[in-house]
Structure 1
């Protein structure tokens, strides 16, 4: 038998050359990756620092804030109306800061402040490891960088990451430009301690009525505690919470060796004693509303100037002179009129609300009310601040329901109270709001602009920012369209019978009325039929030609004013009728000059012909009926405006009396007034109190009496509208409107209308008594039915 050798399997030895090659590849990959990361981070930081991923603040703006020269606003009667200036502040140097204040800041916010160059990697690593439970990763320099950005950080994680990169970039830039001592001083000077306390010096005066160099250790620790949460740790609003956080700061000072145990024990034993002295804001009262709009307009002109010339001008630094069209006297009269009427109106509303368990709402359930309240809560600075501080929604709501010291608005002046922020919001929702704009139809010059009743409590402009349902003030656009497209005259007859279309129904009084009577008494069926005959698309086009840019409802109820439009748009449109059919864009600015008197911008009127003067005067004649015998007549007489004064006007009342309007035009001045509340579910129960003739018109009457009395204004009650040369005023002679004046190649006569049955009277009807409540009873329509 043959012996077989056992076969042994062997494994080949590793190829050393190949192994070394593989290691070299990995080493090469690691180095490439390393350099890629370094280059990527460097590139990212470069892109961030250069503003390629979003605007970056200018760190130079921190330098020499005292040398900035405020821009001044001058009225048409050469009165200084106000200034555009930085917040009221008094910068201090590092040497003026008490040592305890600096020590407290470093102990609480940045122990290694003296060691790093703007970014503390150890703090960042600690914050990441412990999820922020043992302190954040931001240095004092980073926090100063964050203060240079306007607005709160986004809740989006990606945007927050880029925001953090920006802060790091700015922090490094700050460290290069300033010393450590200067950074601390700049930080304290930039911090907002609320109640218009901008910077530590103003804060010391507001809360403790002393200069910063006189602060005690506990007071210094109190301010450092406020840095993390100015509202929650506020010694005036929340003294208990402020003391708890103050003592935390003192404890950290002890642990870091800045103070000894005896000093600590003495400091924590002292109560917080506030000596509160609030400072008025640079944005006070009524003027803040027109400055809000004015600032946006000026900024556009300055940006255009920079593009054209390459020269940058700053509204807050370069001492510009802004000459506006506002008249200081008329502005004052408008403000006084609003205050006088709303003081009385508010009393009536409060009396009615005493019987309302859901005050100040009608026809809402608890879920709907809570929805409105939560929307308001989330718009507050308090909510945004607490959210930015990382508080949970439940904790924020607990804060909003906790009583605290605050001021609330009353027409007798601000009132110091203790109430929860939630109750404060509910309280302020019942305060009646108003807006008024007054302009010269011939020039477009805005002479008065009152956007609201108090900027400190209601930072919302009702002239150009706010849009509200306009109600029957929209009807003149419908009538003007019928005159232009259908050849109708003030004497044309239109049916006032009830109108139905599908499930939609508008109650009428029966019979037929003239166009002049229809608009004077604000009869809804008449407006609906005119819109239907004219075509809603034609009505919308005319409104567009008259300067209305807001969205307009395309359906037939639009004739009754279902759309939300601004005072600014409505008044510009109405003024066209008093300017011979020429629309002139309302303007507030005449010219802007630099500090040396050189003209930066001179604003010229923007004029557009919309209709001929005969049509325009016909509309004035129609609207004179409103004030002579229509919805406005009774209240005008009661307010002391004699019937001899020529006034073209229109009242407006919206669904459930949520909005009250009055537009009144005299030959040289047109004025629009709106009155309502923040929420549309807040209103008077009855139309008798809530109609435009009772809410908006009284302000107009009070205002115009003051204007008439000031002879220097040259707006006189005996002024008359200028009639076209061929105007006779008799209905038989108004047929010339049907011949030669149309833009549509000739106008139809009444007999040529497509639906003649709509203007044939159904049956005679007895005229109702001439009372405002009766006349306006048709204005309040539920458009959803």
Structure 2
């Protein structure tokens, strides 16, 4: 049987058809088109935020260097701005040509030719893997500064960063001219040392303006664009000079500077003239600005999102109209400086012979603990602690003498040689502080806010943040409670005999007792015994409740000592509360803001003050009557005798234990002003009451301020002839023979006459009437 034949496989190789030119072209163009599509999708996706958050078109139209929120005073002055950094923007016409030429020569010589991305530099950078230089144009660098930040953590993020810069650079080129981009770049760059932008850099490093920069100065600042730390003329002068000269050589290379001018510029020394730049405006109260920021931010947060986003105080170009009067503010700051300059010298003189300076009554170990506690609150201590430096080494670092330490003086900033940081802390504990606020009692608008003496050194607001013992300025709250609760008149008499309640035995500061005093006399001379007896009669809770209704929110001790001022309250609270007496018994919460507008002019918030009646107009006027006595014949009489102010003034002084705190509240019909003076630590104070009482520390500031106000009173609506308004049914006469109760005021007539001889005697279980004897406004708590 035969086997059928099997097919035989061919061993010959199949021949491939050669690529035709047409196929090559198809593949080439196909890959090219695919690449184009991929690039388009990459850029499109980047612009839509697929590679991370990107600014919207509106943000590109309004870079954040130009959209800070502005603060306008009640008299129409631009006080300050809320901005991410302090800077003074300039326009292109302010830039000298050699500054622009230096920038182009160093950073982007083909800047005028490209549209945001330099293709030639990009190809060069990619082909050399960055070895032959970067490819960022000026526009890309601006995009990086404005929107995407300067840090990348890894290679992938760096690539994404670069893609974002490309997209944003193209968008910027569409919306701005080349000149505008150059100006924005110079305005945005951080030259360190608080030199944000070219104008502040010109001031910090050369004490000049941008328009007056010389060739060598311009080259130096442009050299810093590469690395403002490494090439900083203050930190690394040798590297800085070398890099400056590199920039000058580049200008010669591109024919932007002739050789002779270049050689002359390179021969010059750096010529640095360092100037300090405060991070917050010097012109007006930085303390006010910070209080304002907190209040506005709280309100903006409460609004939630508007059109999908929250308002940004620093980028949304808000216009904030505030109650502050720039002219009054300047008068107040000048008054604080004038008086504290004088008494600071006196305080330093007194402390020369004090081994525990600036403290009294403090053992040496506690004194040292106070200084070390202050040390631990410094940023430098926290930095060293973060580096895990042992406590002993940190202490040694703070006690090490230094070549130059900056200290505060009323003559301006000074640099002290051979001083340690601990010595600086001890020195600054000597510095007396002040808080001052003035408001219109009729509408609650705050006209003046001086929270401290210098924000750069003392970042603590003594108007609304600091709570200090108020001393006898609290007594009006006790007196008004008694008048309101018991229908007392200003002629009501109270015993001045020594007495005890439980373990508490209040004392008059002058050590004199006996007889009785009417309420006018008792408040005028700030008699402790009378105030103590009144709170025993009214009870503590009604006094605290009335203080709460007058806007006091700080904790108040629940005991009789508050009648002598043991509570720690703020200047803000005290001025707001006292203003109710000048406003017919109606409390109006002190207000910082009139209204807020967005960048289109739409009103976001039109503020309406919070108001409530606390006492009736008769009780309120009775308190004005009592407090006028303080000015006319009591502890506030220096206003008349020493400072010559003749207007109608109701006032109250206050001095706390050991003269740690000095207060003065002065009220006119249209302006209520409170002043506090003291040191940062309560153990630091004047040794004697003559120098340390409120009449000596705080009253003069009020007087200097009001002298300035009255000098130009018409522009403020304030006059020496202003009178407190009486209730309409009260006639002129108000003597003690007629004052039997507030319901009889309408029957009075004749002339206004204080008649103390007609005071009737009121006897209660705590009284023993013999003769009149006064006190003063110093607290003495004895349990």
TM-score of the alignment, normalized to the shorter chain, above 0.5: yes
Deviation at 1:634, TM superposition (A): 3.4
C-alpha distance in 2 between matches for 1:272 and 1:390? 38
The secondary structure found in structure 2 opposite 1:733 is coil
C-alpha distance in 2 between matches for 1:661 and 1:686? 16
What's 2:724 paired with?
721
From the superposition, tell whether residues 590 and 181 of structure 1 become closer, same or farther in structure 2 (CA, over 3 Å). closer
The secondary structure found in structure 2 opposite 1:756 is coil
1:551 and 2:518 are equivalent in the alignment: no
What's 2:573 paired with?
569
What's 1:442 paired with?
442
Alignment of 1:518-537 (within 5 A): 518-537=522-541
C-alpha distance in 2 between matches for 1:170 and 1:567? 52
Deviation at 1:478, TM superposition (A): 0.4
What's 2:120 paired with?
none
C-alpha distance in 1 between matches for 2:54 and 2:629? 59
C-alpha distance in 1 between matches for 2:54 and 2:391? 34
C-alpha distance in 2 between matches for 1:168 and 1:382? 34
Report the TM-score, using the length of structure 1 for normalisation: 0.70
What's 1:693 paired with?
695
1:415 and 2:414 are equivalent in the alignment: yes
What's 1:758 paired with?
766
C-alpha distance in 2 between matches for 1:304 and 1:148? 32
C-alpha distance in 1 between matches for 2:599 and 2:55? 24
* Deviation readout 1:273-293 (Å, 9 max, x if unpaired): 965333343432542111111
How many residue pairs were aligned? 623
Alignment of 1:190-229 (within 5 A): 195-198=193-196, 206=204, 214=220, 223-224=229-230
* Deviation readout 1:110-137 (Å, 9 max, x if unpaired): xxx989xxxxxxxxxxxxxxxxxxxxxx
Deviation at 1:646, TM superposition (A): 1.3
C-alpha distance in 1 between matches for 2:189 and 2:388? 19
* Deviation readout 1:35-83 (Å, 9 max, x if unpaired): xxxxxxxxxxxxxxx9xxxxx9999999985653222221111122222
Preserved CA contact (<8 Å) 1:481 1:539: yes
Deviation at 1:575, TM superposition (A): 0.3
Deviation at 1:595, TM superposition (A): 1.9
* Deviation readout 1:398-435 (Å, 9 max, x if unpaired): 33234142332211222232322221121122111111
C-alpha distance in 2 between matches for 1:67 and 1:219? 18
* Deviation readout 1:590-614 (Å, 9 max, x if unpaired): 1111222211111112111111100
From the superposition, tell whether residues 558 and 204 of structure 1 become closer, same or farther in structure 2 (CA, over 3 Å). same
C-alpha distance in 2 between matches for 1:345 and 1:450? 18
Deviation at 1:782, TM superposition (A): 4.0
Preserved CA contact (<8 Å) 1:528 1:560: yes
* Deviation readout 1:543-586 (Å, 9 max, x if unpaired): 00000000001111111111111111111100001111110011
What's 1:29 paired with?
none
The secondary structure found in structure 1 opposite 2:229 is helix
Deviation at 1:392, TM superposition (A): 3.5
Which residue among 396, 407, 419 is the counterpart of 2:394?
Answer: 396
Preserved CA contact (<8 Å) 1:407 1:415: yes
C-alpha distance in 1 between matches for 2:624 and 2:203? 58
C-alpha distance in 1 between matches for 2:460 and 2:149? 25
C-alpha distance in 2 between matches for 1:281 and 1:399? 27
Preserved CA contact (<8 Å) 2:565 2:779: no
What's 2:364 paired with?
366
From the superposition, tell whether residues 169 and 83 of structure 1 become closer, same or farther in structure 2 (CA, over 3 Å). farther
* Deviation readout 1:688-727 (Å, 9 max, x if unpaired): 1111111111111111111111122221111111111333
Which stretches in structure 1 are left out of the alignment for 5+ residues? 1-49, 51-55, 100-112, 116-143, 150-163, 227-234, 247-270, 742-749, 769-774
Preserved CA contact (<8 Å) 2:648 2:724: yes
Preserved CA contact (<8 Å) 2:284 2:329: no
Alignment of 1:177-326 (within 5 A): 177-178=164-165, 195-198=193-196, 206=204, 214=220, 223-224=229-230, 275-284=273-282, 286-307=284-305, 310-326=308-324
C-alpha distance in 2 between matches for 1:173 and 1:658? 60
Q: Let me know the Cα RMSD of the aligned residues.
A: 4.5
What's 1:494 paired with?
494
What's 2:118 paired with?
none
Report the TM-score, using the length of structure 2 for normalisation: 0.70
What's 2:595 paired with?
591
The secondary structure found in structure 1 opposite 2:558 is coil
From the superposition, tell whether residues 704 and 189 of structure 1 become closer, same or farther in structure 2 (CA, over 3 Å). closer
C-alpha distance in 1 between matches for 2:720 and 2:361? 43
From the superposition, tell whether residues 272 and 384 of structure 1 become closer, same or farther in structure 2 (CA, over 3 Å). farther
Deviation at 1:472, TM superposition (A): 0.5
Preserved CA contact (<8 Å) 1:114 1:180: no
Which stretches in structure 2 are left out of the alignment for 5+ residues? 1-48, 91-98, 108-128, 132-145, 170-183, 208-215, 241-268, 747-758
Alignment of 1:353-752 (within 5 A): 353-400=351-398, 401-418=400-417, 419-508=419-508, 509-642=513-646, 645-710=647-712, 711-727=714-730, 728-737=733-742
Preserved CA contact (<8 Å) 1:325 1:446: yes
Alignment of 1:15-54 (within 5 A): none
- Indicate the larger mover: 300-309 or 570-579: 300-309
What's 2:81 paired with?
83
Preserved CA contact (<8 Å) 1:201 1:212: no
- Indicate the larger mover: 68-77 or 90-99: 90-99
* Deviation readout 1:79-126 (Å, 9 max, x if unpaired): 222222232358999988979xxxxxxxxxxxxx989xxxxxxxxxxx
Deviation at 1:615, TM superposition (A): 0.6
Preserved CA contact (<8 Å) 1:490 1:514: yes
Preserved CA contact (<8 Å) 1:546 1:573: yes
What's 1:152 paired with?
none
From the superposition, tell whether residues 211 and 480 of structure 1 become closer, same or farther in structure 2 (CA, over 3 Å). same
Deviation at 1:330, TM superposition (A): 1.1
The secondary structure found in structure 2 opposite 1:504 is coil
What's 1:352 paired with?
350
Preserved CA contact (<8 Å) 1:523 1:779: no
The secondary structure found in structure 1 opposite 2:437 is strand
Preserved CA contact (<8 Å) 2:666 2:672: yes
Preserved CA contact (<8 Å) 1:386 1:396: yes
* Deviation readout 1:234-258 (Å, 9 max, x if unpaired): x96xx7xx89999xxxxxxxxxxxx
Deviation at 1:195, TM superposition (A): 3.8
Preserved CA contact (<8 Å) 2:507 2:781: no
C-alpha distance in 1 between matches for 2:185 and 2:130? 15
C-alpha distance in 2 between matches for 1:700 and 1:433? 15
C-alpha distance in 2 between matches for 1:57 and 1:352? 61
What's 1:161 paired with?
none
- Indicate the larger mover: 581-590 or 213-222: 213-222
Preserved CA contact (<8 Å) 1:147 1:190: no
Preserved CA contact (<8 Å) 1:470 1:562: yes
Deviation at 1:355, TM superposition (A): 1.6
C-alpha distance in 2 between matches for 1:486 and 1:393? 60
Preserved CA contact (<8 Å) 1:571 1:670: yes
* Deviation readout 1:605-636 (Å, 9 max, x if unpaired): 21111111001101111111101111111353
Deviation at 1:739, TM superposition (A): 8.8
Deviation at 1:176, TM superposition (A): 7.2
C-alpha distance in 2 between matches for 1:545 and 1:148? 53
C-alpha distance in 2 between matches for 1:218 and 1:602? 46
Preserved CA contact (<8 Å) 2:564 2:779: no
